[in-house]
Protein backbone atom coordinates (compact mmCIF):
# COMPACT_ATOMS: atom_id res chain seq x y z
CA UNK A 1 0.00 0.00 0.00
CA UNK A 2 1.42 3.36 -1.02
CA UNK A 3 1.75 6.41 1.20
CA UNK A 4 -1.02 8.31 -0.59
CA UNK A 5 -3.42 5.41 -0.04
CA UNK A 6 -2.47 5.25 3.65
CA UNK A 7 -2.96 9.00 4.14
CA UNK A 8 -6.36 8.95 2.44
CA UNK A 9 -7.47 6.08 4.68
CA UNK A 10 -6.39 7.89 7.87
CA UNK A 11 -8.12 11.11 6.79
CA UNK A 12 -11.34 9.24 5.94
CA UNK A 13 -11.20 7.43 9.29
CA UNK A 14 -10.85 10.78 11.09
CA UNK A 15 -13.79 12.23 9.14
CA UNK A 16 -15.97 9.19 9.88
CA UNK A 17 -15.06 9.33 13.59
CA UNK A 18 -15.82 13.07 13.71
CA UNK A 19 -19.20 12.57 12.04
CA UNK A 20 -20.10 9.93 14.61
CA UNK A 21 -18.68 11.87 17.58
CA UNK A 22 -20.60 15.03 16.71
CA UNK A 23 -23.84 13.12 16.26
CA UNK A 24 -24.12 14.09 12.59
CA UNK A 25 -24.47 10.40 11.75
CA UNK A 26 -25.96 8.04 14.32
CA UNK A 27 -27.71 4.72 14.61
CA UNK A 28 -26.85 1.93 12.22
CA UNK A 29 -25.19 4.25 9.73
CA UNK A 30 -23.03 5.65 12.52
CA UNK A 31 -21.93 2.20 13.60
CA UNK A 32 -21.09 1.27 10.02
CA UNK A 33 -18.94 4.42 9.74
CA UNK A 34 -17.15 3.61 13.00
CA UNK A 35 -16.41 0.07 11.79
CA UNK A 36 -15.17 1.40 8.44
CA UNK A 37 -12.97 3.91 10.28
CA UNK A 38 -11.45 1.10 12.34
CA UNK A 39 -10.81 -1.00 9.24
CA UNK A 40 -9.27 1.96 7.42
CA UNK A 41 -6.97 2.68 10.35
CA UNK A 42 -5.95 -0.95 10.73
CA UNK A 43 -5.18 -1.42 7.03
CA UNK A 44 -3.33 1.89 6.96
CA UNK A 45 -1.09 1.01 9.90
CA UNK A 46 -0.47 -2.50 8.57
CA UNK A 47 0.14 -1.18 5.03
CA UNK A 48 -1.90 -4.08 3.71
CA UNK A 49 -5.42 -4.31 2.32
CA UNK A 50 -6.70 -7.89 1.88
CA UNK A 51 -9.25 -6.76 -0.72
CA UNK A 52 -6.44 -5.70 -3.05
CA UNK A 53 -5.11 -9.26 -3.40
CA UNK A 54 -7.93 -10.91 -5.41
CA UNK A 55 -8.09 -7.92 -7.75
CA UNK A 56 -4.33 -7.61 -8.20
CA UNK A 57 -4.34 -3.97 -7.09
CA UNK A 58 -1.15 -2.38 -5.77
CA UNK A 59 -0.75 1.25 -4.79
CA UNK A 60 2.93 0.85 -3.95
CA UNK A 61 5.27 2.88 -6.11
CA UNK A 62 7.28 0.77 -8.54
CA UNK A 63 10.80 0.05 -7.32
CA UNK A 64 13.51 1.16 -9.73
CA UNK A 65 15.52 -1.67 -11.17
CA UNK A 66 19.28 -1.57 -10.72
How does pLDDT run across 28-64, given as a tens digit for each residue?
A: 999 999 999 999 999 999 887 777 777 777 777 766 6
Q: Rounded to whole angstroms, what are the CA distances from 39 to 34, 61, 63?
A: 9, 23, 27
- Does 22 score more than 70 pLDDT? yes
Predicted model pTM: 0.78
Instruction: Give dist(CA 22, CA 29) in Å, integer.
Output: 14
Instruction: Give dist(CA 42, CA 45) in Å, integer.
Output: 5
Instruction: Give dist(CA 19, CA 13) in Å, integer.
Output: 10
Amino acid sequence: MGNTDRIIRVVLAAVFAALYATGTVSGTAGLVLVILAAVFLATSFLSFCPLYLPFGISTCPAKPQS
